[in-house]
Amino acid sequence: MERIFVDLAATHGPVKPMHAVNNGPIRSMSVQCRQNFPEWVEAGIPYARTHDSTLNHGYGGENTVDIDAVFPNFDADETDPASYDFPVTDKYLTTINDAGTEVFYRLGSTIEHWEKKYRVHPPKDFAKWARICEHIIRHYTEGWADGFHYKITYWEIWNEPDGYPACWTGTKEQFFDFFEIAARHLKACFPHLKIGGPAMSTPRAWSEDFLAEMQRRQLPLDFFSWHRYCQQPEDMDRSQKVREMLDSYGFTETESICNEWNYVESWTENFINSIEFIHSHRGAAFTAACMIRAQNNPIDMLMYYDAQPGIWNGLFNYYTLRPEKTYFVFHAFNVLYRLGTSVKVACEGEGLHTAAARGEDGRTAVMIARFSETGGDVRIEIPGGAERYAVICTDAKRSGENIGEFVPGDTLFVPENSVILLKSL
């Protein structure tokens, strides 16, 4: 008999933001009205990273977020508000903020897969690039240049410098110099904010050299960001190696943030299979299992790629922006996140992954993902929990549907490739 045992008395820290994403919601325009803003708010997505935002017309396209978009003439005076082009990015970040989601701002450029590279070259003046970023931060957090006072905690320097040449055309050594100059300047200007990066595409390729060099230069690093595309939820266990690597170079207080991840079967001939998977109930089960696995690993934040309309977005339909299966996974995890306190769970079963949480008011919830081609009955024990739980299911036939009630100690059928949320009544 498969079994889940939830120990509400054994807490192990907070429920972490494992349901953060890349990019934000779409609000209806005056014409061509379609949006996912209300559903986004309902899902309670905690953070939205602004990487590759220029790829989406709904956000403002090439006029959005990137340093060369906000500061189009690098030779202009970086202290003059007239040198900046803020309006489109203002609207985009305001939409994210109004949805109750905190912006995670990527300072840099969108990935360039095309033959000629336009904006991913090393800046011709590293110090000036840092000062430009300083004024962008002041605009969004201190009101500079008719700006805002938004809470934006995380400021990430660049994206995938190890992804040559799509994201960085310079050398490794150039990037290390660039990162140091930018990070030192921004941290000196904003000691209360979190300055980090650099969003490594493969955690080991450049990471060892990067961390060794930043340790040698005694550079402060508030967070280290990295990416992981995979096929099994167990791959989230690789975060243990990342944590060990950070600690070994003295970055014991540095947050470990996986801020791009999704399912990829292959980047070449079978890539289309990955797209079909992401938009299926199997993709939803995989996503839930990864979130749960990450919650139980040394990852401080997990950011799904991608929530902008496109092939990577399993949350919302590309054409209608209506919720797809994976949307209900984020909605379910937010129930745990809002309760706040993670509790220990013992889980035995084919492809089963489980996380649970309790709130200060005594409410409890259990999230179960079965990433397997077979289903089965599971005995679920929750001593000290509620007498009855609502059962909310997402599987091949259902999308976030309440399918009845469950009494702890009984068995519950958990279908193949499904996500179950138990909410105390």
CATH number for position 360:
2.60.40.1180
Instruction: Give dist(CA 286, CA 386) in Å, integer.
Output: 28
Biggest CA-to-CA distance, the chain: 69
- Calculate helix-pair angle for 172-189, 207-216, nearest 10 degrees: 50
Q: Residue 55's domain is classified under what CATH number? A: 3.20.20.80
The domain boundary, picked from 306, 339, 372, lies at 339
- Which among 59, 45, 44 is positioned nearest to 309, based on CA atoms? 59
Looking at the structure, tell me whether residues 44 and 145 fall in a common domain.
yes
Residue 9 lies in a domain: no
Same domain? 370 vs 397? yes
Could you report the per-residue pLDDT of 83-115, keeping only the tens digit for each? Answer: 999 999 999 999 999 999 999 999 999 999 989
Tally of domains in the chain = 2
Mean pLDDT of the chain: 96
**Do 220 and 360 share a structural domain?**
no
Domain extent, residue 375, equals: 341-424
Q: What is the pLDDT of residue 34?
A: 86
Mean local confidence (pLDDT), 202-216: 89
Which residue do the tokens 């243990």 mark? 240
What confidence score (pLDDT) does residue 205 get? 72
Query: If you average pLDDT over residues 4-25, what whole number do you get?
Result: 97
Answer yes or no: do 288 and 162 share one domain: yes
Residue 269: which pLDDT band, with cuts at 50, 70 and 90?
confident
pTM of the predicted structure, to 2 decimals: 0.97
Please count the other Cβ atoms lying within 10 Å of the Cβ belonging to residue 210. Answer: 22
**Residues 45, 39 contacting (CB under 8 angstroms):** no
Which has the higher per-residue pLDDT, 28 or 30? 28
Q: Does residue 31 have a pLDDT over 60?
A: no
